[in-house]
Structure 1
Amino acid sequence: MLVELLRSDGQQVVVADPRDERGLDITRPDDALDAALGDADSALLAVPETVARAATVVLRDRLRPGALLVETLSVKSRVAESIRALGTPAVGINPMYAPALGMAGRPVLAVVHHPGAAVEVFLDLLRRAGATVVPVTAAEHDRLCAATQAATHASVLALGLALADLDAGTEASLAAAPPPHTLTLALLARITLGSPAVYWDVQAANPFAREARAALAAGLDRLSRVCESGTEAEFAALMAQARGRLGEHAPHYGDLCAALFDALPLPLGVRTAGGRTP
Structure 2
Amino acid sequence: MTTVVVGGAGEVGGLLARLLLPDGPVVCADVRAAEIPGTVAIVADACRPSADLLGVLPQADTVVFALPEHVAVPAVTACAPAVRPGALLVETLSVKEAVTPALAGAAASQDAEACGLNPMFAPALGWQDNAVAAVRVADGPRTAALLGSITAAGARVVQLTAGEHDRVTAVLQAATHAAALAFGQAVVAGGADTEALLALAPPPHLTMLAVLARITGGNPEVYWDIQVANPHAAAARAALREAVATIDTLASTGDRAGFNALLHGVEKHLGDRAPLLRGYCARLFTMRLSARS
TM-score, normalisation: structure 2: 0.87
Paired amino acid for 1:229:
T
Matched, 1:167 2:191: yes
Give the deviation of 1:244 after TM superposition: 2.1
> What is the aligned partner in structure 1 of residue 204 from structure 2?
180
Give 1:266 shift.
6.3
Cα displacement string for residues 99-149 of structure 1 (whole angstroms, at most 9, x for unaligned residues): 111101211000011112211111111111111100000011111111011
The answer to which of 240-249 and 130-139 deviates more is 240-249
TM-score normalised by structure 1 residue count: 0.92
In terms of fraction of residues, the more strand-rich structure is: 2
Equivalent residue for 1:240? Answer: 264
The percent identity for this pair of structures is 44
Distance 1:25 1:168, change over 3 A: closer
Q: List gaps (5 residues or longer) in structure 1.
A: 269-277
Partner of 1:11: 24
Deviates more, 1:216-225 or 1:236-245: 236-245
What does the per-residue CA deviation read over 1:165-201, in whole Å, with 9 as the maximum and x for residues that have no partner?
1223433322111111011111111111111111111
Please list, as runs of the form range in 1=range in 2, the aligned pairs for 1:1-278 lying within 5 A after superposition.
1-8=15-22, 10-20=23-33, 22-86=42-106, 87=108, 88-265=112-289, 278=293
- Who wins on radius of gyration, i.e. which is larger? 1
Give the aligned CA root-mean-square deviation in angstroms: 1.6
CA deviations 1:13-51 (Å, max 9, x no partner) are 111111228422222222222121011111000011232
Q: 1:32 to 1:151 in 2, by over 3 A?
A: same
* Alpha-carbon shift at residue 211 of structure 1 (Å): 0.7
One-letter amino acid of the structure 1 residue matched with residue 285 of structure 2: F
Q: CA deviation at 1:267?
A: 9.1
CA shift for structure 1 position 242:
1.7
Could you tell me which runs of 5 or more consecutive residues in structure 2 were left unpaired when the two chains were aligned. Answer: 1-14, 34-40
Contact 2:93 2:117 in 1 (8 A): yes
Q: Contact 1:154 / 1:213 at 8 angstroms: preserved in 2?
A: yes
Structure 1 ranges of 4+ moved more than 4 A: none
Greater CA deviation, 48-57 or 66-75?
A: 48-57
Q: How many residues align?
A: 268
